[in-house]
Structure 1
Amino acid sequence: MDMKLEVVVIPVADVDRSKDFYEGLGWRLDADFPGADGFRVVQLTPPGSACSVIFGDGVTSAAPGSAQGLYLVVSDIEAARDELARHGVEVSEVFHDAGGVFHHAGTKDRVSGPDPERGSYASFASFTDPDGNGWMVQEVTERLPGR
């Protein structure tokens, strides 16, 4: 049976500020539904993605900014980084990990610039939303077998 990840809930403090931030990135607004007693659900989808994010009032009990390791996969890390910067996002420089397999948590073992061999899955950039939810942008140019 196929199981597809379609929605990730992210905790935010200010729904309208977050909605403006993600719409400012060019993400599609799928829903903004108010409910009783201040309940509100906002759903946005990154361009080309089958998975959306949801946030709102009364949607999660997680602390705002506590979502980390959210991934956006792109075919050109430098172009993606430039686009995020053009949208006003404070985005890290492109980096790769000293170990070459995956990146360490935080900024440990980050090496400036894309992977020297431009290996697929090996170059990154990072940014946070206004609450501190952490996003990684990863360059994937060739999928591993079976993917």
Structure 2
Amino acid sequence: MSSVQVSPSDTTQDRRTAMALEVVVIPVSDVDRALAFYDGRLGWRLDADVTTGPDFRVVQLTPPGSACSIIFGNGVTSAAPGSVQGLHLVVGDLDAARRELVERGVAVGEPFHDAGGVFHHAGGDALQRGPDPAGRSYGSFASFDDPDGNRWFLQEIQVRLPGR
């Protein structure tokens, strides 16, 4: 048995205590190589590239249409490069987004869905080839890695659940 919980709209949230995800830190081994991938390959907007000394550099980029940015650099995280394995980029058309990334030279995997129809299992358990056969929002995915092995997922959502 499954259920979907619908939370109140953000308009009811007290702005003083509202929490918006604004930045995700991505651990990388080579800042310039990561910048070439995210800015040059993916075409994300470069927001900042600041060096304040020999051991600190922060680079911030934002995916097109996103309110959340990523940061990477020198001295910004102790996490191992390649250890981020589940960030999702929501797209309205998985095929079009995949095609655009492939044209930019990004190695994007083939579309897949989970046999359970809800969310993909870690490690590929229950992974089924092809998009969700019923064409449901939230059910179709494709993935790609950055040069360090940080794993990103494209997730197709045409219609959001109520309250989202």
TM, length-normalised to structure 1: 0.97
Rounded to whole Å, the distance in 2 between the matches of 1:139 and 1:31 is 29
Secondary structure of 1:35 counterpart:
strand
Partner of 2:117: 100
Question: Bigger CA drift: 97-106 or 45-54?
Answer: 97-106
Q: What residue ranges of structure 1 are gaps of 5+ in the alignment?
A: none
Structure 2 equivalent of residue 21 of structure 1: 37
Q: How big is each residue's C-alpha offset from its partner over 1:17-37, in whole Å with a ceiling of 9 and x where there is no partner? A: 000000121100000000123
- 1:97 Cα deviation (Å)? 0.6
| 2:145 alignment partner in structure 1 | 128
Give TM-score, length-normalised by structure 2.
0.87
Q: Residues 23-76 of structure 1: CA distance to partner in whole angstroms, max 9, x if unpaired?
A: 121100000000123210000000000000000000000000001101100000
Q: How far did residue 137 of structure 1 move? A: 0.5
The equivalent residue for 2:63 is 46
Q: Residue in 1 aligned with 2:18?
A: 2
Mapped to 2, the partners of 1:21 and 1:31 lie a distance apart of 15
SS of structure 2 residue aligned to 1:106: helix
Report the aligned-residue RMSD.
0.8
Alignment-derived partner of residue 101 in structure 2? 84
Cα deviation, residue 106, structure 1: 2.1
Q: Measure, in 2, the Cα distance between the counterparts of 1:37 and 1:90.
A: 33
Q: Which structure has the larger Rg over C-alpha atoms?
A: 2
Q: Which runs of 4+ in 1 moved over 2 A?
A: none
Q: 1 CA distance for matches of 2:125 and 2:106?
A: 22
Question: Mind listing any 5+ residue stretches in structure 2 that lack a counterpart?
Answer: 1-16
| More displaced 10-residue stretch of structure 1: 105-114 or 71-80 | 105-114
Counterpart Cα distance in 2 of 1:106 and 1:89: 21
Counterpart pick for 1:60 among 69, 77, 80: 77
Equivalent pairs: percent with the same residue? Answer: 69
